[in-house]
Amino acid sequence: MPTASPSPTEPGRYVKRPTVPLPADARVLTGAKAWVRAAETAADRAAGRAPLLVVDAYPGADLPLIAEAVAEALPQWHLVDVEEAAALPIELIDARIADNLTDDRVFGVLSHAAVDSFYDAERLDKLAVEVDGDDRPVVLLGWGADLVARRTGAPYALVLADMARWEIQLRQRAGAANWRAENPDEDQLRKYKRGFFVEWRVADRHKRTLFDRVDFVLDANAIGAAEGHPREAGMITGDAFRAAVANAAHAPLRVVPFFDPGVWGGQWMKRKLDLDPSKPNYAWCFDCVPEENSLLLEDADGAIVEIPSLDLVLTQPKALLGERTYARFGAEFPIRFDFLDTMEGGNLSLQVHPFTDYIHQTFGMHYTQDESYYLLDAGDDAVVYLGVKDDVDKDAMLEDLRAAAAGERPFEAERHVNAFPAKKHDHFLIPAGTIHSSGANSMVLEISATPFIFTFKLWDWGRVGLDGIPRPVHLDHGEANFAWERDRTWTEANLVNRVEVVSRGGDGAAEEGNVEERTGLHELEFIEVRRHWFSEQAAHDTEGTVNVLNLVEGDEVEIVSPTGAFAPYEIHYAETFIVPAAVGPYVIRRTARSRSERFATVKASVRGTGAGASEA
């Protein structure tokens, strides 16, 4: 049975490194012992041949350091760098992906390539023949190393050296290049674009072919880590990996949040979430973005292996997402929760997100970034910019935006765009096509669909990025996606605090006084959000689709299973947590240590995919 995360020393304290338990008998291997264990597996499988060990590494992994560790632990083994031996010249790779990268600084087109398109097939075949004829034990290393091993026809042991996208981004900011690219000094937005639209898509597609066969998983995040890690790089068996993610898909969990500064960043998270006080600000916290977050798998001795939380999505999509949600989105986690902190900071950029047809036709993404702002906190002067004025002059507004983008004069936002006062627990709905921005002195819980880079900035208040480069503005994309009919009258009626009481009371005395409210989202958006107020406990049911929640009021609660299917799982104020579809019924209740009198959660799910959804 999965165990709960360790409790912090005081109720309500935000946990920044939540863990997921490994099976009770699994242990994290480190150092030479890990590589010797992998080599022994390869030797046991060799059946009289020279043993073959394959280390297939996610692009961004530090291959020289991995090679150094292998050579030190296995000095008698012949190490072959598959990338050096068989990858195409970078100039040819660049030409092949040019249409995906485009000339834009931010946006590209999603790639559908496979990893073998980056390799010379003849050289792969030649390398396979050389390896098959080698009487020495061989280690194949590199992204796509499995391509060579499968060509040999020989038995082998397979190690996946896996990495989370967030760690890759940190390394790129510190000067790392993209896979085999000669771009260490390139603009970080362009590095990210190459990863998002090409490398990570191809790598995840390749990785899905390995999960069922992998013998070991290596934590490549800890090898050459950008910001250092207080642990050795660990390795676990493939069986332990598969069991851990299977268990995680049947119990509440949290992914590892990460925090980032920004030009408009604020001070709320620094104080409330106990972050580094020496940092000038924190703008973002991504605490439920499984495409980029990590999972920390912890053994009974407290040793940890870090894997991408995307591995959970890719290996357990039906249990995690639910059959209907999986049928609709595939193995993609469709809901994102993140924080936008402008307390004592500045306004977000004025922006708009693309309509579904536009994002599909232009970028190859099959759903769009509808979203909403839920106010965790707000200053007295907080506002949310949302929709255009009733009497907006389209031509004048576009002319002013172009003049601002050209540096001729600032854009007078409140001349054209509505500014609604915002207070704690307000909820503003933002379907694609709606012009919007959060103003200064707000702490926003952003609840949105996951395609998270498709933001068309219209005006950024004359700022440059933290790198000193002007932040990109995309007026042409923006203009093509303005829903001009969303004026103040329509916006106020449809998008501002559309709270509907669904039920009062509950099942028994413990739920007396409970209130369930529907707070959104708009009918054009696929996400449903419910808020539950309670003093003691509130009953929930996933109804066959994944639930994503945040404790927006109260210091500390625990999630429990009415049937004892999982151990109680503790949650603290402002923490986002995932309840997989497979969980079914669950209860959120105050803990024995809690000091709060009243609690509230907001819960997001995919509308129309629960057990009670229409069959039509």
Do 474 and 531 lie in one domain? The reply is no
Give Cα 530 distance to the centre of its chain.
22
In the numeric block, which tokens belong to residue 371? 């979203």
pLDDT of residue 608: 87
| Average confidence (pLDDT) over 167-174 | 95
In the numeric block, which tokens belong to residue 204? 């995840």
Do 120 and 189 lie in one domain? The reply is yes
Q: Quick: pLDDT tens for 370-421.
A: 999 999 999 999 999 999 999 999 999 999 999 999 989 999 999 999 999 9
Position with higher pLDDT, 231 vs 163: 163
Q: Say if residues 484 and 491 touch (Cβ distance below 8 Å).
A: no
Do 509 and 466 lie in one domain? The reply is no
Q: Is residue 14 part of a domain?
A: no
Which pLDDT band holds residue 470 (cuts at 50, 70, 90)? Answer: confident
**Is residue 337 pLDDT above 80, yes or no?**
yes
**Is residue 8 pLDDT above 70, yes or no?**
no
pLDDT of residue 3: 41
Q: What percentage of the chain exceeds 70 in pLDDT?
A: 96
pLDDT of residue 2: 40
- What is the strand order of the sheet 436-438 is part of? 417-421, 383-388, 436-438, 350-352, 456-459
Q: Quick: pLDDT tens for 47-77.
A: 889 999 999 999 999 999 999 999 999 999 9
Residue ending a domain, among 429, 462, 494, is: 494
In the numeric block, which tokens belong to residue 576? 């986002």
Do 309 and 360 lie in one domain? The reply is no
Do 103 and 229 lie in one domain? The reply is yes
Residue ending a domain, among 494, 511, 530, is: 494
Three-state secondary structure readout of 209-260 = CCCCCCCEEEEHHHCCCCCCCCCCCEEEEHHHHHHHHHHHCCCCECCECEEE
Do 313 and 340 lie in one domain? The reply is no
- What is the rounded CA–CA span in Å between residue 49 and residue 57? 25
> Pick from 575, 574, 502: which is nearest to 533 by CA?
502
pLDDT of residue 611: 57
Taking only Cα atoms into account, the Rg of the chain, rounded to an integer number of angstroms, comes to 25
pLDDT of residue 5: 41
Which pLDDT band holds residue 12 (cuts at 50, 70, 90)? Answer: low
pLDDT of residue 609: 78
Q: Which neighbouring-strand residues pair with 412?
A: none
Q: How many CB atoms lie within 10 A of CB 578?
A: 24
pLDDT of residue 172: 96
Q: Quick: pLDDT tens for 256-310.
A: 999 999 999 999 999 999 999 999 999 999 999 999 999 999 999 999 999 999 9
**Is residue 521 pLDDT above 90, yes or no?**
no
For all residues of the chain together, what is the average pLDDT?
A: 94
> Pick from 238, 234, 236, 263: which is nearest to 341 by CA?
263
Q: Is residue 11 part of a domain?
A: no
Here the CATH number for the domain that contains residue 482 is: 2.60.120.10
Do 548 and 580 lie in one domain? The reply is yes
Is residue 437 helix, strand or coil? strand
**Is residue 79 pLDDT above 80, yes or no?**
yes
Domain that holds residue 82: 25-252+299-321
What CA–CA distances, in Å, run from 437 to 80, 413, 425, 531? Answer: 52, 10, 17, 23
Do 354 and 424 lie in one domain? The reply is yes
Q: Is residue 248 part of a domain?
A: yes
Do 133 and 185 lie in one domain? The reply is yes
